[in-house]
Structure 1
């Protein structure tokens, strides 16, 4: 199977933990989305807000990386929250507002109601859209991370 491209929706504060630790979670720690990923797949992270549950909007692509390895594992964050994770090699990038990119992104079918697609939290995009976002974000140098 060829390389695929994904978008994960996550607040910037939650994403920071993943970038620091070299992992990702999707859809509040569910396993099913992570099973769709294969090693080498690219993942772009979109942050609608600065903080989880907060009101301060961000509306920007905030991280980009490639899936590392096949392992899906659980990590206990609290007694009642043990989410599934997948390791990711993150790349240095520039936080990129979505608004200027909307006209060139094919996955956003309704340019006026562009936020609707992101309500799914995790979805696949085509290579054209991936390249548009990546070229606006990336500096092509991997971040060295310690995996938890």
Structure 2
């Protein structure tokens, strides 16, 4: 019995999200500074959009944009050596190519999102690093990014 894909927003600096998006032969996602437990909540076929508060980790530039969007691929979370003893957990993701999905600011979407309970405090959920959203909210993100919705099957 097939399950309905779930929709997720993951949070990372744009620099880190772009590394996962542009990795070849397959893109990947990491969350929570490489923690494995959050990735176990995600299943193949789920959709994920990366929101970046800043361009670089710890940055203060207030980029506040969605930088990638894609579909989680078959397989379990796995670890990958990134150097200096850092071995984060990952999941494979087929992202819409950068040329097919423009980075999009969050500001115009805040009042339309179902997950935002108070537009004045819209950033509260983003502190979790990964959270589930409705198909409606994922479609808003995909449309703002001009992503190929066929590749996301929304």
Q: Give, in angstroms, the shift of residue 142 of structure 1.
A: 9.2
Q: Give, in angstroms, the shift of residue 90 of structure 1.
A: 0.3
Residue 148 of structure 2 corresponds to: 140
**Which of 6, 9, 31 is equivalent to 1:4?**
6
TM-score, structure 1 as length reference? 0.91
Greater per-residue strand proportion: 1
TM-score, structure 2 as length reference? 0.87
Specify every segment of 5 or more residues in structure 1 that has no aligned partner in the other structure, as ranges.
144-148
Alpha carbons 2:142, 2:149 under 8 Å: kept: no
Residue 51 of structure 2 corresponds to: 46
For residues 67-116 of structure 1, give each alpha carbon's deviation from its aligned partner in whole angstroms, at most 9, with x where no partner exists: 01122110111243100011000003111111110110010111001111
How far apart, in 1, do the equivalents of 2:79 and 2:56 lie? 23
Alignment of 1:108-127 (within 5 A): 108-127=116-135
Alignment of 1:5-44 (within 5 A): 5-21=7-23, 22-44=27-49
Residue 81 of structure 2 corresponds to: 76
User: Segments of 4+ in structure 1 off by > 3 A?
Assistant: none
How far apart, in 2, do the equivalents of 1:133 and 1:124 lie? 13
Greater per-residue helix proportion: 2
CA RMSD of aligned residues (A): 1.6
How far apart, in 2, do the equivalents of 1:15 and 1:142 lie? 22
How many aligned residue pairs are there?
A: 143
